[in-house]
Amino acid sequence: MPELPEVETVRLALTKHLLKCKIFKVKINSKKLRYTIPENFTKLINGCKIISIKRRGKYIILNFDNMCSLLVHLGMTGTFRVSEIYNPLKHDHLVFNFKSFYLIYNDIRKFGFLKIYNSNEVFDSKHLTKLGPEPFSEEFNLKYLSTALKKRKINIKNFLMNQNVIAGLGNIYCSEVLFESKISPVRITNKLNAKEILSIYISIKRVLKKAISYGGTSLKNYKDPNGKIGYFKNKLKVYGKENKKCSFCNKNIKIKKITQQGRSTFFCDNCQI
C-alpha cells in the first residue's frame, strides 16, 4: 500500500499537471471500486477547474472551483497516470479528459476509492476526521509523541502503524524508522526513555523526508503519474532484507523478519534494542 512518501509524490506530480486545469469529460469504465462510484459523479465535476491538491495521511484531496472535493485513497494497487494520448490498459477504471491530456485511474485489486464531498465537509468525513497529526506538522512535536507513547502499553511498531496517532506511516517506513533509531519493534511504548523517544521522533521526519526526495518506494506496481518508479527502494536498510547482513553492525549479523498484527516487520536484533 502506498504510504506517505508515495502519496506525497503522487500529489506533487498531480499538482504540476492538474492545477488550474478544467475537466472536460469523465469516462467511467467500472463503478465498482472499494466504494461504488455514484450516478452523479461525472455531473458534479464536469467542467470544473482544479484549484488545489492536498494530502492528509495516505489520502489525496482534489479541490474544485465549485466547492466540490474529490477524496482519493489508492488502496493497495491504485495508480494515476498522465498521458497526452489515451492508450487503454486493463484495470483502467476512470479516465479524466482535460484539454490537452488525460488522467487515468488504474487499480488492479480495486481497494482504492474516489469520493466526492462538499469542500467544507471533506475534512469532517469518516476517513479523515480521526487521523492523527501529520509528521511534518507543528502539532506533531516531541511533547505530543512522548505523551502518546506513555499513554499506551503496546509494541512500538504497532503504535507507529496506528493512523489515529500519526498519519501516513505504514509497514515499510515503520521498519526503517525503528532501524534508524535503533529501537526494537517489540519494545513496549511506555517503557521507552526520553532519549529513545527523541531518536524515534527525529528518525520519523528524516526517513520520510529522504523517501519523498527519492519519489517513494516501488516494490510492486507503484509508479507516480509520470510513470516513474520510486527509488527509495535502493536506500532501504531493513525492509525486505531478511537474512541479509545488517548494514550498521558490519558483522555477520542478519536481518530478521517477524509478524506483528499480520504484518511483516524487519529488524536487526543486535543493534536494535
Catalytic residue, from 54, 206, 254, 263: name it: 263
3 is catalytic: yes
Expressed in angstroms, the distance from the first to the final Cα of the chain is 28
* Catalytic-role residue among 11, 55, 58, 81: 58
Residue among 3, 6, 8, 180 flagged as catalytic:
3
Radius of gyration of the chain (CA): 20
- C-alpha span between 29 and 20 (Å, rounded): 25
Told to judge if 153 belongs to the known catalytic residues of this protein, a careful annotator would answer: no
Q: Is 2 a catalytic residue?
A: yes
Question: 69 has which bridge partners?
Answer: 63, 117
Each as own residue / partner, the long-range contacts of residues 159-165 (CB below 8 Å, 24 or more positions apart, any chain) are: 159/189, 160/200, 160/204, 161/261, 161/263, 162/132, 163/57, 163/58, 163/130, 163/131, 163/132, 164/130, 164/131, 164/132, 165/132
3-state secondary structure of 27: strand
Residues forming the active site: 2-3, 58, 263
